[in-house]
Amino acid sequence: MKEIVRFSHVSMQFPGTLANDDISLSIYEGEVFALVGENGAGKSTLMNLLYGLHQPTLGEIHISGLPTAPVHSPEKAMRMGVSMVHQHFKLVPSFTVAQNILLGHEPKKWGLFYDEKAANETVRQLSETYGLEVNPTDVVRDLSIGLQQRVEILKALRTGAKVLILDEPTAVLTAQETEELFAVIRRIVKEKNMTVIMITHRLPEVMQISDRVGVMRRGRMIDVLRTRDTSEQGISSLMVGRDVIFDDLRTEQESGEEKLVIRGLMANNDRMLPALRGVSLSVHAGEIVGVCGVEGNGQTELSECIMGMRPQTGGSVILNGKDISRLSPRKIREMGVSFIPEDRLSTGVDQKSSIEENLALGKHRTRDFSLLGIHLRRGKVKQYAKQLEKQFDIRCAGVDEPVQSLSGGNVQKVVIAREFSFDTPVLVICQPTRGVDIGAIEFIHERIIEKRNEGCAILLISADLDELFRLSDTLVTLYDGNITGRFKAGEITMEEIGFYMLGAKVQEGGSHE
């Protein structure tokens, strides 16, 4: 096989952190190479070096046999045939698909004016060439996450890339969108002889799509394996340095009184179309109720209505016997609800604030952490943050670092550490392990079960069926804003529940119309 990328003894030192430590690696033309490791292992940093976002402290990187040094940038990387699609999309929501894909390279009419017709035709041809169907005139903010990702990929392929880097490409995709993405990857690798490098935490997908897998741990490349010669268990053990066993963590126990009751809840989505159509459910103390559904069927709106972040058009939300339907998010939290949102960056943290400040949010006005509710007691905050850093294994150079310096999985640990530190009777948890590594998933699941065993009522919303089946005492299915089924743990299989998630079956008494 022809070598297309070579890392030779590459190291990357950030202040207080050795992100990459003496890495040597060859990647070949026409292969799918998976890069795995725990959060903070250095995967994204290594690919950012290849893409030119950082310069290596030591070592050399060669692309198609040519060195990238001394000055490497994304512009140079793209000229050398390397493009990257980041985990968090870099699109302009108010622009059309064509305007986003051709941004900075717009066709001009008479050399002066944007040629919309030519731009749309260019994007249609690009779409046909790579088998990625998009409508050039659609506005990006109106597209599903899966279609937005297509736009990002086409934007990367527009330059004629030979190497395509995908950072956590399936983290926000539905199962169907993931299959569509993998079909595209297989097509461009086979028909265009391209190389795809995929950073991921999802080991079943590694086994499904990759030819080889590189395993990183704490900045070092531990091993490079042919995928067909290894297993999920073997990869996970290399990632964390020990065996990872996902047993059923639930223990039988009696649930207590109703803590959270939702009655006939109705709400619209951002486009003012019905998203919830009379949802009713309850969560008892010491119980985990898992919400199953293909994303986009009302899960986001359900959590936002509970937390006072979205207005209701009907129904009610009852917490400990009191109606909280019209209260503010701050008041709802004060009354006893902790919340882990699905989008940790936009609603889970303040990215520009420090780790310690984010960990103290919600307690920053208390006597322990502030003077007269105005001035933070910095020493107390730091001491508290260091305690949570150790308890929740947040990998960072120091708690005074900005949250935006952390990997995605460690940002999630910050959110979970903060919310689990509140002694609240109710927890609303959305996508708790999205984009986190296998060791962190095990850790987070154990913490969720601990909270449940302490008597907390937990509403768990996740796109990961394995996670829901592993943790939930009760499962409810949500389709098109309606509850289509309710099941106790062990009453239904993953295969059967899919029919209820797609609306093909509705349990007697379900709210689907």
Whether 512 has a pLDDT exceeding 50, the answer reads no
Cβ atoms within 10 Å, residue 85: 20
> In sequence order, what are the beta bridge partners of 109?
113
Listed in sequence order, the residues at least 6 apart from 507 whose beta carbon sits closer than 8 Å to its beta carbon are 484, 485, 486, 500
Helices 145-157 and 116-130, packing angle to 10 deg? 100
Distance (Å, whole) CA 396 – CA 16? 9
Instruction: Output the pLDDT for position 252.
Output: 67
Cβ atoms within 10 Å, residue 115: 15
CA angle, corner 325, sides to 321 and 326, nearest 5?
125
* pLDDT, tens digit (0-9, with 9 covering 90-100), for 116-161: 999 999 999 999 888 888 999 999 988 877 788 889 999 988 888 9
Place of tokens 């993953």: 494
pTM strictly above 0.75? no
232 class by beta-carbon count within 10 Å (0-12 exposed, 13-18 middle, 19+ buried): middle
Predicted confidence band of residue 262 (pLDDT cuts 50, 70, 90): very high
Predicted confidence band of residue 367 (pLDDT cuts 50, 70, 90): confident
> In sequence order, what are the beta bridge partners of 258?
284
Whether 176 has a pLDDT exceeding 80, the answer reads no
* pLDDT, tens digit (0-9, with 9 covering 90-100), for 305-340: 999 999 999 999 999 999 999 999 999 999 999 999
- Percent of the chain whose predicted confidence (pLDDT) is above 70: 96
Whether 246 has a pLDDT exceeding 60, the answer reads no
Instruction: Output the pLDDT for position 251.
Output: 65
Whether 3 has a pLDDT exceeding 50, the answer reads yes
Distance (Å, whole) CA 317 – CA 459? 13
- Percent of the chain whose predicted confidence (pLDDT) is above 90: 59
Nearest to 12 by CA among 42, 52, 51, 32: 42
Whether 513 has a pLDDT exceeding 60, the answer reads no
Given a contact cutoff of 8 angstroms between Cβ atoms, the answer to whether 212 and 3 are in contact is no
Distance of CA 89 to the CA centre of its chain: 12
Whether 168 has a pLDDT exceeding 90, the answer reads no
Distance (Å, whole) CA 347 – CA 411? 12
DSSP output for 316-356: EEEETTEE-TT--HHHHHHTTEEEE-S-IIIII--TTSBHH
Distance (Å, whole) CA 310 – CA 302? 9
Distance (Å, whole) CA 87 – CA 141? 17
> In sequence order, what are the beta bridge partners of 402?
354
Instruction: Output the pLDDT for position 1.
Output: 80
Distance of CA 157 to the CA centre of its chain: 23
Cα dist from 39 to 142, 168, 285, 315, 413, whole Å: 31, 12, 32, 41, 10
* pLDDT, tens digit (0-9, with 9 covering 90-100), for 7-50: 999 999 988 789 999 999 999 999 999 999 887 789 999 999 99
